[in-house]
Amino acid sequence: MNVALWWSAGLLAAVLSVAGTAKLLIPRETIAAKGGAASQWVLDFSPSALRGIAVLELLAVAGLILPAALDVAPVLVPVTATCVGVLFAAAATMRLRRGERATILPDLVYLLIAAFVAWGRFGPAPFGG
């Protein structure tokens, strides 16, 4: 169980790292033009809102890995996973509102992975427990 939770947290961290870094470094028009239908949503947000989302994603990367790896407040891992779940629930809601039902599946999968990490680290496999 511990290995599955680490892999799941690592996968979420990798996804959020790529997404957050892209939002910080690539102009939103370029993301929308090259990302296809799944990335058109970026045009609905201002550049500063996208930067804010990117910063939250990068903070989530740190919160999913560092507290447990450094053994400093490891309870932050399931708390962060819960927040990541909220992030992906909001992303799925935004896609539904935009009528992008075909692109909602990855958000739902990441939501489930975040819920698994939160459940696992709060419940059966906490750090130090």
Copy the structure tokens of residue 127.
């750090």
Residue 129 domain flag: no
Residue 59 domain flag: yes
Full residue range of the structural domain in which residue 91 is found: 2-122
**Residue 99's closest CA among 34, 37, 35, 36?**
37
The pLDDT mean for the chain works out to 94
Residue 58 domain flag: yes
pTM of the model: 0.93
Residue 75 domain flag: yes
pLDDT in tens, 53-111: 999 999 999 999 999 999 999 999 999 999 999 999 999 999 999 998 888 999 999 99
pLDDT at 38: 85
Whole-angstrom Cα distance, residue 112 to residue 98?
21
* Number of domains the chain is built from: 1
Residue 56 domain flag: yes
The answer to whether the beta carbons of residues 43 and 96 sit under 8 Å apart is no
Residue 60 domain flag: yes
